Structure 1
């Protein structure tokens, strides 16, 4: 008799354990998938719908975009588990903003220097603009890349010297001096 009960229990155990697992749909499903996909360095094709939904969230101001993306990720029920709020925050602030292309485009500083040349009694003055790409990751990238639950397999590093580069035109200014590479 005991063996029959054990056999019946073993037969129904998988059914019972599967019945307890919730199946997510819609934005809840996409939010959970986005958390998983954005925590990984690989982006399989299965991530496309979730990433499209996540990166499709855009507001007028960047801070509003970050908040809206964070709210989207918080639709995943696991987002309130221990350690998850920090991960969601790191993803919302860092995903899509911590690669070489983005950093080289936005992580620069500029300075203007006045140059003067004497021509007899008159002085001819003008301003020259210099740029350089900062060689230190912003806090939001450090939080995202170094989070204990992200595995971004990032080879991102700064190459060259952080030196001021003069450019007459902004186009192509970041081709000289130091820059971020993946």
Structure 2
């Protein structure tokens, strides 16, 4: 429901002249993270299929990370409680943006373009704090993306970094 990274990646790819295939590929690869996240939190969701599907909508990056208790354990109630205000803010902010976006003009003028990269950088720092393979994968994906930016079409650097990260992390399991 709330995949800001995929939404911003699609907007960035299309806004910089990339095609719909690159935009869709970027979104699919960025959203691939929800597979392992869902598998990790799945045993902590309650009820039948419908209830579990509804509770699964609260698997948002921040809520999932905050609800993690270590050792593969999750606090379901905390995750749901942390997700509800985010979902309300996301939907409300989207409505405000659609209805009043022309009043603000260029979001870069207000520095809003830096919010999501900074947010994901903070999440990344939390994941790589202890070093190990996650740090190596993150550095390699970043270097790959930076090397491709000047020579590859829009969207390709993001896709390549996502594929590299997924392949690198797959080896850690």
Normalising by structure 1, report the TM-score: 0.24
Which protein has greater RCO, CA pairs closer than 8 Å, 6+ apart? Answer: 2
* Larger relative strand fraction: 1
Normalising by structure 2, report the TM-score: 0.24
* Larger relative helix fraction: 2
